[in-house]
Amino acid sequence: MESSPADWESYAYNTFSSFIRAHYFFTVWRNYKLLLHGLSIKKGTLLELGSSTGQISLRLSKKYHLNPTLIDSSVIALKYAKAIYTRSNISLKVSCQNVLDLSLVKCYDFVHSHGLLEHFKDKELKKIFYNHVQHVNSDGWLICWVPTPDLFYRINRWYLEQTGQWIFGYEKPISVTKFISLFKVNKLNIKKIRHFPGWVGIAAQLSR
């Protein structure tokens, strides 16, 4: 059965709820910190693809002194992002674009996405991943997170679908093996991998 279209505007609005904000802080941000711990992240520029309201990029920008740019296809999400960053006194650049047809003229020191790649089928997935890679500076970092098809993911998705709370449209979790192969095919040097219930994150740099 085909999934209903994703409702990313509702998702963006939901990031203001206390429950989702707690999820970002205690789960997503915790996972990022554990993945990045011990890595040399220098001050510079940040690019997030499929950012929604950019909650994690905000924390990354503060912690590592990065100048953030957010890319998303939702005008509403980017509007919310501007409001959030303004309140935090963080200068923000945004661009409303489809990540499949990314048009940027520069590279960045820290490129990342969380929960983006799994929403695309094989050919598009590979293209979007390459769009990540080609915008990483020669000594910069690429960080990606995707859901994995483990028991935690399956139970969580089943619950959301059964209760009418699934708003993410097409989503196919990615095995750890397939995820690693994306990095290797693109000649990336994997520095660290962290696998948590339902998610896997990889930190990599361009091979020299």
| Residue among 102, 134, 87, 109 at smallest CA distance from 39 | 109
pLDDT of residue 191: 97
Q: How far apart are CA 182 and CA 164, in angstroms?
A: 33
* 197-132-87 Cα angle (round to 5): 75
For residue 144 the two structure tokens come to 């990606």
Structure confidence at residue 8 (pLDDT): 65
Where along the chain do its domains lie? 8-206
* Residue 1, pLDDT score: 41
Centre a 10 Å sphere on the Cβ of residue 103 and count the other Cβ atoms it contains: 9
Assign domain 8-206 to its CATH architecture.
3-Layer(aba) Sandwich (3.40)
Spell out where 52-187 has E strands.
Answer: 66-72, 93-96, 108-114, 136-147
Global model pTM greater than 0.95: no
Running along the chain, 208 residues long, what does each successive block of 10 average in pLDDT? Answer: 63 68 77 96 96 94 97 94 95 95 93 96 94 95 97 94 89 96 96 95 90
